[in-house]
Structure 1
Amino acid sequence: DGYIVTNNHVVEDATELRVVLFNGRELDAEIVGADPFSDLAVLKVEGDDFPSVPFGEAEDVRVGQWVLAFGSPLNAELSNTVTSGIISSLGRYSGGNNSISNYIQTDAAVNPGNSGGPLVNLRGEIVGINSAIATRTGTFNGISFAIPVDIVRNTVEQLIDSGAVERGYLGISFGAVNPALARALDVGPGAALVAAVTEDAQGREPAGEAGIRPDDVITAVDGVTLRDSRQIVSLISNKRPGDRVDLTIVRDGDEETVTVRLGVRPENPLGTPQGGEQLQPMSESGDDAEPAEMEGLGLTIQTATPAALRRFGIEAENVKGVLVTGVERSSEAYRDADLRRGVVITEVDRKPVANRAEFESALAGVGAGETFLVRVQRFARNGDAVSTLTALTKPD
């Protein structure tokens, strides 16, 4: 029918589009619809009886499977090039929650100019659309990425039907659980920690309506165990508003299943917390509280006074807790709990701590060798804070 699938980044800045067929024939094309979120676009040329390539099935794609990549790399003299390789990995996740962030990795040679070309199996079925490479030179280094066929099919069908894509929206801001927290809660390393409940494009809070709360840990979506917290984005975004999904969550040590009716994804949802910036302290004198080393934890802390916070570039007001002023790189706190200088600890073992004395009192109530939860605030330079959970183990 004259529909052509390509990448959004190939056509997004174009003022005029012409398609060159394999036989050299040139046709004017127009954009039917484009979706920056998945980096896919659909074009239309006039005519009929064009050859087409069928879609394969995402569940049939396997690591080690042979594939062919079609495209026109580098320049016009290399148009209509076919390269071969294998599926190197599935479910490669990149970026936060403003892109589909789920790719097929292959070692089939792909270079600039290949974008938008099909990745096909040996039956001639599309299993992905070539989209990106990992490179330090600007050209192929043995690692390329394709958008999976299930995402392509869903996006293309909607673009052809309406020129736009409606995506389901869970309504949370989230981040990955760090190794220390995963051990403390006995969850997998791919689990997602809910940081906040957010509104969809219509002002609903889909997750909030279902009872999801900050500090809930999501371990599975519709029975699919998360291998990476960012997997939530592709699992949810490939569904439609109004669809229902079952989330397996861990709350206060107990596992339960919650059903969420998805909302409408806003154009620019809240980003995934990435742990905040690691800020360097500025030279200034006049501590209001002396730092103290927490032996065995690998931490140096002091009460989070305004003067102490300013030395780390934090201008936030009404901060209650203890400021981490030093972390031993060999410690669990640095390696697994992801604690860094400039974060503020506000809870220890689920008890609020407003100063160093309260921190030490809460820590004294933890048994030797026991793992306990720690709430921290991570600050950006503008004073905005993200609150997250982590865990530490009290030394024997």
Structure 2
Amino acid sequence: MLGQKQKWRVVGGVLVGLALLLGSAPLHAGAWPVAVEGDKLPTLADMLERTTPGVVNIATSGSVEVAETPLLNDPFFRHFFDIPTMRRAKKIRSLGSGVVVDAAHGYILTNHHVIDKAQVITVTLHDGRALKAVQVGADPETDVAVIKVEAKDLHALPLGNSDILRVGDFVVAIGNPFGLGQTVTSGIVSALGRSGLGIKGYEDFIQTDASINPGNSGGALVNLRGELVGINTAILAKGGGNVGIGFAIPANMTKQLMAQLIEYGEVRRGLLGISSQDLTPELNQAFGLEHQHGSVVTRVTRGSAAQKAGLQAGDIITEVNGVAVRNAAHMRNLVGLLRVGEAVQLTRLRDGHSRTVKAVVEASKREQIEGSRLSPRLEGAVLEKEEQDEKPGVVVRKVVRGSMAARMGLQEGDRLLEVNQQSVKNLADMGKALAVDGRQMLLTLERGERRIRVMVR
């Protein structure tokens, strides 16, 4: 906190500065100068007049089923005391932002979490028009979604090239913080290629100190030319407010995702068939390299596109389609944006020799099975395991309302990790564990950041 004398020094300095400014240019009564000594004062107003009509406010509403009391959310408690499932509908509302990217077709880019579970999506334009929107497609892995409105005279923002951004470039964030209405904040690019934050599955964020707050999600991050360079997505703050660390999805990434979302309603990611890790300084030393960046291949799936291209464990991937690979997360992002059937050029380093190979991205292989085929107790659940999913466990892809699986408390998105305290990595393990006949079944599952145990008799 400033002392009283320090406060007066600051105020005095501001007043002196204003006096010098006002004394150097003639003023009309009640007016501020637009120029000093013939030079126009710098302002973002002209650019923002062209840009802000392309950013919209989004309000959503819907409902989800919740237990009557928080304690009844615990399936183990409910089963132990033989309490039936009692649920009620809870209304949910969300506020966010969006960016018009195609005025002719009414396409608007936003975040998946802004419109997730929404039954009604209302878009308010800069001119005050309120329009009903429909969801075109969404990708939870990157938190990108496309919605559509039917309207004339929409204003679309031009897409900029986020690949040429540099740390220190000036940027402006436009959105609807705290539901206040359209608000503009400015700052700089603080960092590029941020990943490993645990916010989403695919991360390659632009970090900025332009103020981003709740409600800014889905809004625009633009450069000083008014071009869209990012979609504001997240903040890093325990209290939920702005502390100068905000993150945006690069525009070049959203451009690739948007094309698939409009065409398919989802992102159909290709599969290369490798596992990799960061090329650390220690590994650089072990390989006899100096300051090399890239991703080290740790495993190649048999019969995969990577094996067909001749990749081996120990290879270092340094480029994907001519783009230098920073680390394993960057490699995953570059491959994850490729379409099935698309050819990709990979530059790999092996025994000190660099070579470029070609691979054709294949469709992700996934196994699905009805839970009832494994156990009558899992009736109504659909279990899934993707080949590229390296995390242990089996994912609950669907739960039919009112089914046995629903009554025991399983939810879509749960990851089953153990059956009767036996670890399961895939559907085969799940089947073996359930094949052992027993009077009861204890499931350990992961739901978000929590681990839950469900007892079924």
**TM-score scaled by structure 1?**
0.62
CA RMSD of aligned residues (A): 3.0
Q: Does 1:194 align with 2:297?
A: yes
Q: Is the 8 A contact 1:132 1:145 kept in 2?
A: yes
Equivalent-residue separation in structure 2 for 1:142 and 1:230 (angstroms): 24
Task: After superposition, give the CA deviation of every residue in 1:337-361 in whole Å (9 maximum; x if it has no partner).
Answer: xxxxxxxxxxxxxxxxxxxxxxxxx
1:62 equivalent in structure 2: 166
Equivalent-residue separation in structure 1 for 2:152 and 2:116 (angstroms): 25
List aligned pairs for 1:22-101, cutoff 5 A. 22-74=126-178, 76=179, 78-94=180-196, 99-101=201-203
Unpaired runs of 5+ in structure 1?
275-314, 316-396
1:247 positional shift: 2.0
Distance 1:95 1:12, change over 3 A: same
Equivalent-residue separation in structure 2 for 1:48 and 1:265 (angstroms): 40
Q: Is the 8 A contact 2:315 2:350 kept in 1?
A: yes
1:175 equivalent in structure 2: 277
2:356 equivalent in structure 1: 257
The equivalent position to 2:307 in structure 1, one of 204, 208, 215, is 208
1:132 positional shift: 1.1
Q: Among the aligned pairs, what percent are the same residue?
A: 43
More helix by share: 2
Q: Does 1:246 align with 2:345?
A: yes
**TM-score scaled by structure 2?**
0.54
Distance 1:97 1:192, change over 3 A: farther
Residue type at the aligned position of 1:120: V
Residue type at the aligned position of 1:249: R
List aligned pairs for 1:313-324, cutoff 5 A. none
Equivalent-residue separation in structure 2 for 1:61 and 1:273 (angstroms): 34
2:98 equivalent in structure 1: none
Equivalent-residue separation in structure 2 for 1:266 and 1:129 (angstroms): 31
1:145 positional shift: 0.9
Q: Which moved more, 1:174-183 or 1:149-158?
A: 174-183
Equivalent-residue separation in structure 2 for 1:140 and 1:95 (angstroms): 17
Q: Is the 8 A contact 1:191 1:228 kept in 2?
A: yes
Q: Is the 8 A contact 1:73 1:114 kept in 2?
A: yes
Equivalent-residue separation in structure 1 for 2:116 and 2:199 (angstroms): 21
Distance 1:107 1:221, change over 3 A: same
3-state SS, counterpart of residue 230 of structure 1: helix
Task: After superposition, give the CA deviation of every residue in 1:22-61 in whole Å (9 maximum; x if it has no partner).
Answer: 2332211110111122211111112222111111122332
Q: Is the 8 A contact 1:210 1:258 kept in 2?
A: yes
Equivalent-residue separation in structure 2 for 1:89 and 1:40 (angstroms): 21
1:269 positional shift: 5.2
Distance 1:44 1:222, change over 3 A: closer
Q: Does 1:134 align with 2:236?
A: yes
Q: Is the 8 A contact 1:174 1:272 kept in 2?
A: no
Equivalent-residue separation in structure 2 for 1:104 and 1:258 (angstroms): 30
Equivalent-residue separation in structure 2 for 1:18 and 1:34 (angstroms): 17
Task: After superposition, give the CA deviation of every residue in 1:361-390 in whole Å (9 maximum; x if it has no partner).
Answer: xxxxxxxxxxxxxxxxxxxxxxxxxxxxxx
- Structure with more contact order per residue of length (Cα contacts < 8 Å, sep ≥ 6): 1
2:69 equivalent in structure 1: none
List aligned pairs for 1:1-396, cutoff 5 A. 1=104, 2-74=106-178, 76=179, 78-94=180-196, 99-187=201-289, 188=291, 190-198=293-301, 205-265=304-364, 268=386, 270-271=388-389
Equivalent-residue separation in structure 2 for 1:96 and 1:254 (angstroms): 35
3-state SS, counterpart of residue 177 of structure 2: coil
Task: After superposition, give the CA deviation of every residue in 1:85-110 in whole Å (9 maximum; x if it has no partner).
Answer: 11112211236897321111111000
Larger radius of gyration: 2
Unpaired runs of 5+ in structure 2?
1-103, 367-385, 393-422, 424-457
Q: Is the 8 A contact 1:133 1:144 kept in 2?
A: yes
Q: Which moved more, 1:29-38 or 1:224-233?
A: 224-233
Equivalent-residue separation in structure 1 for 2:363 and 2:119 (angstroms): 30
Q: Which moved more, 1:231-240 or 1:2-11?
A: 231-240
1:71 positional shift: 0.9
Q: Is the 8 A contact 2:276 2:299 kept in 1?
A: yes
Equivalent-residue separation in structure 2 for 1:265 and 1:7 (angstroms): 24
Equivalent-residue separation in structure 1 for 2:240 and 2:301 (angstroms): 38
Q: Is the 8 A contact 1:68 1:82 kept in 2?
A: yes
1:213 positional shift: 2.1
Q: Is the 8 A contact 2:142 2:200 kept in 1?
A: no
Task: After superposition, give the CA deviation of every residue in 1:218-275 in whole Å (9 maximum; x if it has no partner).
Answer: 222233332222111222222222222222223345443322111224575535689x
Q: Is the 8 A contact 1:102 1:234 kept in 2?
A: yes
Distance 1:97 1:225, change over 3 A: farther
Equivalent-residue separation in structure 1 for 2:202 and 2:273 (angstroms): 16
Task: After superposition, give the CA deviation of every residue in 1:92-144 in whole Å (9 maximum; x if it has no partner).
Answer: 12368973211111110001111100111111110010011122322211111
**What count of residue pairs does the alignment treat as equivalent?**
273
